[in-house]
Structure 1
Amino acid sequence: MRRDTFLKSLLALGAAGGLPLAARASGLNLKMMLPANPGGGWDTTGRALGKALQDAGLAATVSYDNKGGAAGAIGLAQFVNASKGDPNALMVMGAVMLGGLITGRPPVSLDKATPIARLTSEYNVFVLPANSPFKTMDEVVAQLKKDPGSVKWGGGSRGSTEHIAAAMLARAVGVDPSKINYVAFRGGGEATAAILGGNVTIGGSGYSEFAPYIESGKMRPLAITAETRLPGVNVPTLKQLGIDVVIGNWRGVYGAPGITPAQRKALTDLVVAATKSRTWTEALTKNNWTSAVLTGPAFEKFVDDEFASLRAVMVKSGMI
């Protein structure tokens, strides 16, 4: 094929949204909605994905928009209303958003956006401020049984996985989950500051968010919500402590409403290619994330199943 004919073919493919990734990369400008304040898991995930896309030559630029509040519902509403038909728009989301949508029932639902891919899975860790009078989870549980309201649980928005885990823990140790004193924050940065400042008794979030503070001794880890111990992490699971609670926290990305099937496939291919890059692999290791890539109908079914599963857990735990 002559060079000029080849270039015309590439231009035609690009206009149709089906241009091969390597050919489209140089001029691709992506917009990433991060529906939380800076410093949290969604922020870290979105920026890690953006860096992987750029480092792998899959995108020329990636711009970020942090919009925290209501477990991601505020960012979701802005994304849905402002990005209709935009094939270059992505929004980070995950289990926390599903929990928030169940409890908050906002006017804009997740089904307005376009499922692209699940990216990672990780587990929550419960921590104490370094100067806490408590030393172990047993001591926290003893105080919880004595006076549930005196134990302030700090974490993400209502309906977040750490909120659900706290309610599940309370139920597992014989405390009415509706009596837990949960303090919700709009992002991981705010929750971290509250824990470090001693403004809450105990805090919860994804292990990656608290890892630097655990390693520096500013936070004391008590337990992880995993089924078994995490590799290289010297923290017991709740199950090992005799508390039968296991809950994971996954994250993924959605595209804008109204994009075509071809545009959705191109965006999915772009994200999957980024997850195979060296930069993304390094991010997984650094943040102790588990790769959990899932796309297409399987991802859609997974989200539907997660909605049903989380709702059942929240009802059982007295949250709704």
Structure 2
Amino acid sequence: MSEAFKLRVFTEPQQGATYDDLLRVARTAESAGYDAFFRSDHFLKMGGGSGEPGPTDAWLTLAGLARETSRIRLGTLMSAGTFRLPGPLAVSVAQADQMSGGRVEFGIGSGWYEEEHTAYGIPFPPLRERFDRYAEQLEIITGLWATPRGETFDYDGTYYRLADSPALPKPVQSPRPPVLVGGAGKKRTPMLAARYADEFNLPFVDVDTAATQFGRVEQACAEIGREPSEIVRSAALVLCVGEDDAQVESRAAAIGRDPDELRTNGLAGSPAQVVDTIGYWRRRTGLNRLYLQVLDLSDLDHLELVASKVMPQLS
């Protein structure tokens, strides 16, 4: 689909953030003109730090934000398929979509972070089983939402069975909230994207890897007769922008990263440099959206800077 290029805010609250912290970021993003506020779906911190005050639940957070924002879209990169049964998850997402007036987007993956499963007593099957379950979840959740009112939904899979489900509640968005699939898998991931995704996302990869993987998704679409342009292309990159080198270095230090490394692997530098980097990504990959991973949630001026100095140049 052809659409204007969009910047979205992406947070990692498992590193240590309260709901009120996220609310401040979401409201700032909304007032500054960002297209969406997304969050990860994790229960355990990664890397250094204490992780205090502890994790927040992704869909509880988004349901709350649905009532405390008015325009910005809300979603997950990505909900772990291991965390929730597909039927109840379809209910949660549909309810959040109703609560937001139709602003929710649903990113889902197979689940990968074993330590958080161990820490919170969540089963963590082998990779093949996780991926098989993931495929069934996509079929079930989209099937529930697509079932006409007054009809029932049945599913008989290897891992999940549904019988005479009323397939309620329905989301506000029709035919469903946008579904995001992502990842670097070479075969099954592109095929699942071709079959179910409205958007395909690549987190924290280089531009050549992204171009190659988007090409695999395009080929998978061709194999099932789907128009590849129906799938939005997106990526996520760490954000570190400053008015000058000193501010870039200060913001990099605040998140424990090297500014030169971020210039290579993230979205870092002056506003002009960042505009050039985004332009390169767009030319090489056909990117439609970029998720800005904001790691210092107290630095709201960072978001304001990008909104005022970068966003206007991305027509």
TM-score when normalising by structure 2:
0.29
Larger Rg: 1
Normalised by the length of structure 1, the TM-score is 0.29
